[in-house]
């Protein structure tokens, strides 16, 4: 079945094993073994022709309902905000592109509001709670922006797709064909909570060294994004190596919501997620708030794509110190805030200076590493959250960013203001000091924007551009208010990306062939490895075949792989 076919969501999504309705299907007994050699058994029993996911609770088998169109529906009696999943569940890929439709939220594991409650329940790390396993090629759809996914502390998600069979989280409006390419707030998004470090908690010792621990007698249960009423969840602890499972070849589309406490749900919120979690080939697409937001923790991400994020595509806070390798960010033509907004200390404005200094001295501030990043930023004015911009680094962060391109030249800049569509902004005394002292590093970066910096003085340097150039980075000289195409097919003075009938202009050309201000780039921007800056090149394209919204074509079920051309094509 083509997934864009219209269908009616079934009202009832639960059937008990004792029922004999011929419309109810259960997946035949299936076992899956994850990387930790944990076996998940989906032994729904019954008719072997039945496909919907099921689990056994208190001697009863609960299962989804076949809607007659090859889809399975699941209501709040199956799982929901007051009915968290408390056993392992396997969700299979359905034949012919069938979809698992949830008419409520999907919360995995119980929420424990205190460390004492966690200890009493025997929940001290990922794997102690239930595991949600999703088969490669499966699609999960949710009805409203009140519906979202939470993986609670101690629980895990094993969503292990592949390039030919990615796993998709999206909205019912996307499945039934009523969503537009840039529509957001169609459903909530995903929240993953772990036991990693957040500098909103109190610790003894230096992070990463022997003896580091939560200060005895203190609490570390921080309210996660979306926490209000029955939707509450918490993150935090002192285990940066914790595992929340696997996200591999996963796409998250059309997300975002404003909840009652003022939180805005992101594409994916990572709260204290540890380095034992595997995240490879992850995409967020058309997101109301941030694309991915890291609240502390140490999880690494390899191959990240963020397309049409209305707020910050990559948001970092509360002591996150993982590594992001290969990241492609593409803003909308008329919306989007920062490619990166990165903060070092949570609740920064409420901390006194000795506390800030102490946190930084004990490595509790954010210190991410980002290798190979391409930001294609629109010079939009007055977007949903702010104006399109490059990087904002602040509040005591110590990032290391290597081999990157920041490009906002495709669109004509707003000339009425000199501080809106900047490429680089470094705020806060601690962060500016880190730049001068070498704790904040930008290495091998070429910026191509019409407003190069926000204009903050950095030590003895007049602004961010002067400092960044002093450590070997390069800024193109562009006319303000004039769009400049940075591809090889256009302006001979600025050549950073490929452009051809076969390839969208997202691929870096070789560094040796690049041109900045009509000349070869400065030798100090030579890539640390290979022969290109940025996220990807056409000859080894890790983004092709599984992402949505970038490439023309159709997938195995006959669905278009994007809804519109990229605006800068």
The answer to whether residue 286 sits within a structural domain is no
Res 16: pLDDT: 32
Co-location of 191 and 253 in the same domain: yes
CA 62 to chain CA mean position, Å:
31
Q: What is the C-alpha to C-alpha distance for residues 388 and 197, in angstroms, rounded to an integer?
A: 31
The answer to whether residue 270 sits within a structural domain is no
Co-location of 460 and 527 in the same domain: yes
Domain tally for the chain? 2
Co-location of 321 and 250 in the same domain: no
Res 36: pLDDT: 39
Co-location of 203 and 322 in the same domain: no
Co-location of 435 and 542 in the same domain: yes
Res 230: pLDDT: 72
Furthest-apart CA pair in the chain: how many Å? 78
Co-location of 391 and 476 in the same domain: yes
Co-location of 223 and 334 in the same domain: no
Q: What is the C-alpha to C-alpha distance for residues 504 and 493, in angstroms, rounded to an integer?
A: 20
Res 6: pLDDT: 35
The answer to whether residue 267 sits within a structural domain is no
Exposure string of 371-408, with b = 16+ CB inside 10 Å and e = fewer, is bbbbbbbbbbbebbbbbbbbbbbbbbbbbbbbbbbbbb
Q: Please provide the DSSP assignment of 470-529 as one string.
A: HTT-EE----TT-----BTTS-TTEE-B---SSS-TTSBPPGGG-EETTBPPPGGGS-SS
The answer to whether residue 289 sits within a structural domain is no
Q: Could you tell me whether strands 422-426 and 451-453 are parallel, antiparallel, or unpaired per DSSP bridges?
A: parallel
The answer to whether residue 568 sits within a structural domain is yes
Q: Dihedral sign, CA of 421, 424, 430, 432?
A: negative
Co-location of 214 and 320 in the same domain: no
Co-location of 242 and 355 in the same domain: no
What backbone phi and psi angles, to 5 degrees, belong to 63? Answer: -150, 160
The answer to whether residue 227 sits within a structural domain is yes
Contacts of 20 (CB under 8 A, 6+ apart): none
**Tens place of pLDDT for every residue, the chain, 569 residues?**
444 343 333 333 333 333 322 222 323 334 444 333 333 334 333 442 379 999 998 899 999 999 999 999 999 999 999 899 999 999 999 999 999 999 999 999 999 999 999 999 999 999 999 999 999 999 999 999 999 999 999 999 999 999 999 999 999 999 999 999 999 999 999 999 999 999 999 999 999 999 999 999 999 999 998 767 678 899 999 999 999 999 999 999 999 987 655 668 999 999 999 999 999 999 999 999 999 999 999 999 999 999 999 999 999 999 999 999 999 999 999 999 999 999 999 999 999 999 999 999 999 999 999 999 999 999 998 899 999 899 999 999 999 999 999 999 999 888 877 778 999 999 999 999 999 999 999 999 999 999 999 999 999 999 999 999 999 999 999 999 999 999 998 888 999 999 887 789 999 999 999 999 999 999 999 999 999 999 999 998 999 999 999 999 998 888 899 999 999 99
Which pTM does this prediction carry? 0.91
Res 362: pLDDT: 98
CA separation (Å) from 100 to 3, 17, 443?
11, 19, 45
Co-location of 318 and 200 in the same domain: no
Res 417: pLDDT: 78
Helices and strands in the chain, H and E counts: 5, 39
The answer to whether residue 278 sits within a structural domain is no
User: Residue 544 belongs to what domain range?
Assistant: 310-417+427-569
Res 333: pLDDT: 96
The answer to whether residue 342 sits within a structural domain is yes
Co-location of 135 and 26 in the same domain: yes
Co-location of 254 and 317 in the same domain: no
């Amino acid at each position: 079945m083509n997934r864009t076919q219209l269908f009616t969501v079934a009202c009832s999504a639960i059937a008990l094993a004792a029922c004999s309705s011929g419309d109810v299907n259960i997946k035949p007994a299936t076992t899956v073994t994850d990387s930790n050699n944990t076996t998940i058994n989906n032994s729904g029993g019954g008719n072997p022709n039945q496909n919907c996911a099921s689990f056994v609770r208190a001697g009863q088998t609960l299962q989804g309902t076949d809607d007659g169109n090859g889809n399975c529906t699941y209501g709040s009696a199956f799982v929901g905000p007051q009915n968290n999943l408390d056993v392992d569940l396997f969700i299979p890929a359905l034949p012919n592109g069938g979809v698992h439709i949830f008419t409520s939220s999907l919360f995995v594991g119980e929420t424990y509001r205190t460390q004492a409650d966690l200890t009493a329940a025997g929940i001290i790390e990922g794997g102690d709670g239930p595991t949600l396993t999703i088969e490669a090629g499966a699609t999960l759809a949710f009805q409203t922006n009140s519906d979202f996914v939470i993986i609670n502390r101690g629980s895990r998600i094993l969503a292990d797709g592949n390039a030919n069979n990615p796993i998709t989280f999206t909205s019912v409006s996307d499945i039934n064909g009523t969503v537009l390419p840039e529509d957001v707030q169609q459903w909530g998004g995903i929240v993953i909570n772990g036991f990693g470090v957040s500098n909103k908690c109190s610790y003894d010792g230096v992070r990463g060294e022997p003896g580091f621990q939560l200060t005895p007698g203190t609490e570390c249960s921080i309210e996660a994004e979306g926490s209000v009423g029955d939707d509450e969840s918490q993150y935090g602890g002192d285990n940066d190596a914790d595992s929340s499972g696997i996200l591999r070849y996963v796409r998250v589309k059309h997300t975002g919501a404003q909840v009652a406490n003022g939180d805005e749900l992101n594409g994916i919120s990572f709260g204290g997620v540890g380095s034992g979690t595997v995240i490879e080939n992850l995409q967020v697409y058309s997101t109301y708030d941030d694309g991915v937001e890291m609240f502390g923790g140490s999880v690494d991400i390899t191959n990240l794509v963020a397309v049409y994020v209305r707020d910050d595509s990559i948001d970092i806070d509360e002591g996150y110190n993982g590594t992001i390798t290969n990241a492609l960010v593409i803003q909308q033509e008329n919306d989007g805030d920062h490619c990166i907004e990165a903060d070092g200390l949570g609740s920064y404005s409420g901390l006194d200076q000795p506390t800030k200094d102490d946190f930084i001295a004990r490595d509790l501030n954010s210190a991410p590493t980002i290798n190979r990043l391409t930001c294609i930023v629109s010079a939009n004015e007055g977007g949903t959250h702010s104006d399109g911009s490059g990087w904002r680094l602040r509040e005591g962060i110590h990032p290391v960013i290597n081999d990157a391109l920041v490009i906002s030249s495709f669109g004509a800049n707003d000339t009425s203001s000199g501080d809106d569509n900047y490429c680089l902004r470094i705020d806060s005394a601690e962060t500016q000091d880190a730049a001068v002292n070498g704790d904040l590093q930008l290495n091998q970066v070429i910026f191509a924007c019409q407003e190069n910096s926000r204009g903050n003085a950095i030590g003895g340097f007049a602004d961010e551009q002067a400092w960044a150039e002093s450590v070997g980075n390069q800024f193109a000289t562009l006319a303000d208010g004039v769009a400049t195409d940075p591809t090889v097919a256009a302006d001979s003075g600025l050549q950073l990306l490929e452009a051809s009938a076969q390839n969208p202009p997202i691929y870096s050309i070789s560094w040796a062939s690049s041109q900045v201000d009509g000349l070869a780039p400065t030798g100090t921007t030579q890539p640390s490895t290979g022969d290109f800056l940025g996220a990807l090149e056409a000859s080894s394209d890790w983004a092709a075949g599984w992402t949505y919204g970038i490439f023309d074509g159709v997938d195995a079920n006959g669905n278009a792989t994007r809804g519109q051309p990229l605006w800068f094509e």
